[in-house]
A and B are shown apart, each in its own frame.
Chain A
Amino acid sequence: DVVVTQSPLALPVTLGQPASISCRSSQSLVSSDGNTYLNWFHQRPGQSPRRLIYQVSNRDSGVPDRFSGSGSDTDFTLRISRVEAEDVGVYHCMQGSHWPWTFGQGTKVEIK
């Protein structure tokens, strides 16, 4: 199975400051169809995950443009340009290129 490793696991942030989360995979996430299925999700306590970014860098509808995704092959990053209070929660990266699909451990973002 593809192992997905996120870092850091906890990220204290200051409102208005940037933040970034790293996601690394144990093998290339380029799928057999040529696409790279690396997604980012945000989950608030007691809520379902919400997809923010799909295929590395595409923002979902309604996702603020302060969120951006980048990377390729085995190394990916989620960036928040200016953290807002509503951004707290757990961020999960997930690979959907190789079955079984696998998630990182999650990164808990909290305000300092």
Chain B
Amino acid sequence: EVQLVESGGGLVQPGGSLRLSCAASGFTFSGYWMSWVRQAPGKGLEWVANTKFDGSEKYYVDSVKGRFTISRDNAKNSLYLQMNSLRGEDTAVYYCATRRGDFWGQGTMVTVSS
């Protein structure tokens, strides 16, 4: 059974940092491009970042470019999102997903507030 389990969310002050993790199991993690997608409370979905199988290519939506970094450790079947210089508009549920959207995690909530 495919599982993606996110962790690391929480409450952080504006300007602060947070690192999200996603533990994958039940599929060949190293064979998939992976992504982070977010959803602000009561709002639609926003695709945040993609990373290639080996991490050699990374893509970001403009709103997070220079502040967020997507990375992966294929030996640990894990995906990460380092979030720096956080803003109120980054408040959202963050989902780990495969690039084509076939598998999703349950999400982890990030709240940026003073």
Q: Is the CB of A54 within 8 A of B102?
A: yes
Interface of A: prevailing SS: loop
Residues of A within 8 A of B47 (CB): 94, 100-103
Q: Is the CB of A54 within 8 A of B104?
A: no
Q: Residue A39 at the B interface, CB < 8 A?
A: yes
Q: Residue B46 at the A interface, CB < 8 A?
A: yes
Q: Is the CB of B106 within 8 A of A48?
A: yes
Closest to A90 in B: B44
Q: Is the CB of B104 within 8 A of A50?
A: yes
Residues of A within 8 A of B59 (CB): 99-100
Identify which of B45, B47, B60 gathers the most chain A CB atoms within 10 Å of its CB.
B45
Residues of A within 8 A of B105 (CB): 48
Distance between Cα atoms of A102 and B62 in the complex (Å): 12
| Contact of A96 (CB < 8 Å), options: B44, B46, B61, B101 | B101
Minimum Cβ distance to chain B for residue A100 (Å): 4
Distance between Cα atoms of A92 and B40 in the complex (Å): 15
Q: Is the CB of B102 within 8 A of A103?
A: no
Residues of A within 8 A of B102 (CB): 51, 54, 60
Minimum Cβ distance to chain A for residue B105 (Å): 7
Distance between Cα atoms of A54 and B99 in the complex (Å): 12
Q: Provided the pairs A48-B95, A92-B45, A105-B44 are in contact, do residues A100 and B61 lie with their beta carbons within 8 angstroms?
A: yes
Minimum Cβ distance to chain B for residue A61 (Å): 9
Closest to B105 in A: A48
* Contacts A54-B100, A54-B102 supplied; 12 other A-B pairs, CB < 8 Å: A37-B100, A48-B106, A48-B107, A49-B104, A51-B100, A94-B45, A96-B99, A100-B62, A103-B46, A104-B44, A106-B44, A106-B45
30 interchain pairs (CB within 8 A)? A37-B100, A39-B100, A41-B45, A48-B95, A48-B105, A49-B45, A49-B104, A51-B100, A51-B101, A51-B102, A54-B100, A54-B101, A54-B102, A60-B102, A92-B44, A94-B45, A94-B47, A94-B101, A96-B99, A96-B100, A96-B101, A99-B50, A99-B59, A100-B60, A100-B62, A102-B47, A103-B44, A103-B45, A106-B44, A106-B45
